[in-house]
Amino acid sequence: MLRLFERLRGQRPQPAPPQQRQEGPLDLLDPAFVRDPYPAYARLRDVDPIHRTKSGGFILTRHADIVAALAHPALGNAPSRHAVVHARNRGRHVSADVAANILPFLDKPEHVRPRRLIASAFRAHLRAYPLDAEAIARDLLAPWLQAGAMEAIAISASRFRSRRFRASWACRPPIATG
């Protein structure tokens, strides 16, 4: 992966001196990082601009690297040809058949048509059943408004927030599929 990014940039990056390198992978769930990620981003930008995380992903901290990665066809969503969920394994693994048909695993041009169909159904559903975002926000913020203080980054980055939002959707009528 690092070699790919080196080719994207057209140069080999000079490694940071050992005393400046990031010590081990960055823990994105560390409370200190969640509270204030910007010092870590600045350090990574200076000494480890293409950083491997504990979860195995990469954090790109320089604009040129991000632009190059987004434009490169090798860095898509489709599973690697070595992955069990690659389309070539559709006959052997149900997971490969599923992955070959869902948006998170599809790249252009295969994802364009289903994405448009889903977006159209989603927009129609939102028009028919508008989401009361203000009421949801009021409900989520009530405990901190009563307390008089809150840690906005820690709250918004927590898994609890996304679960609460998803729960509000679970009570809605199903989206018509045509």
**In this structure, is residue 23 part of a structural domain?**
yes
pLDDT value at 73 more than 60: yes
For residues 9 and 46, membership in a common domain is answered with yes
Residues 6+ away with beta carbon under 8 Å from 88: 81, 96
- From residue 120, alpha-carbon distances to 32, 109, 117 in Å are 40, 18, 5
Higher pLDDT, 168 or 118: 118
For residues 125 and 145, membership in a common domain is answered with no
For residues 55 and 21, membership in a common domain is answered with yes
For residues 82 and 65, membership in a common domain is answered with no
**In this structure, is residue 136 part of a structural domain?**
yes
**In this structure, is residue 177 part of a structural domain?**
no
The model's pLDDT over 93-124, given as tens digits with 9 standing for 90+, comes to 898 888 888 888 888 888 899 999 999 998 99
**In this structure, is residue 29 part of a structural domain?**
yes
According to the model, what pLDDT value does residue 167 have?
A: 53
For residues 142 and 105, membership in a common domain is answered with no
**In this structure, is residue 178 part of a structural domain?**
no
Q: Is residue 109 reached through a cis peptide bond, with omega within 30 degrees of 0 on the bond before it?
A: yes
For residues 6 and 49, membership in a common domain is answered with yes
The tokens for 80 are 């690697």
For residues 67 and 7, membership in a common domain is answered with yes
Q: Which pTM does this prediction carry?
A: 0.47
Residue 58: beta bridge partners? 52
Look up the domain containing 140 and give its range: 131-172
State the average pLDDT over residues 84-91.
87
For residues 41 and 56, membership in a common domain is answered with yes
The tokens for 74 are 């090798």
pLDDT value at 34 more than 60: yes
